Amino acid sequence: MALRYTIGAKKAPDPTDKHVGARVRMRRKMAAMSQRQLADALGITYQQLQRDEKGLNRIAASRLQQISHILRVPVAFFFEGMPNASTLGSKRSALLMAQIDDFVSDSHGLRLMEAFRRIDNAALRRRIVRLVREIAGDEPI
């Protein structure tokens, strides 16, 4: 049987690599660290880190360990929320995780989340949620 080679065919990023990369990006932003700062700490170019964060390149286990140490999270953090066999059929949970990743990857979303977490008054938090939902045009809770 002859081996076939596909020339010029672009392979889509693996969903696991995309998820891990997005979690690296999210945590890096939460730590207020630039791509260049993290790349320098890892001894790679920021372009390489960009490719890792987009899931275009697979992050090696040793590099993921370095990243976890630099960003002060356990390695398991990068796999949290990843669809697995039990949730694979749940498009809603995958969509929710993607929305959360997008939200905290944005500097405004991250600041909003950090400020909201510091509010101790539960009633005030509920009123803020109602206000934001009303501004967004959502149905009342």
pLDDT tens for residues 22-74? 899 989 988 889 999 999 999 999 999 999 999 999 999 999 999 999 999 99
Q: Are 19 and 66 within one domain?
A: yes
Dist CA 56 CA 128 (whole Å): 38
pLDDT digits (tens, 9 = 90+) for 115-126: 888 899 999 999
Q: Are 75 and 116 within one domain?
A: no
Into how many domains does the chain fold? 2
Range of the domain at 121: 106-141
Q: Are 78 and 110 within one domain?
A: no
Dist CA 87 CA 19 (whole Å): 15
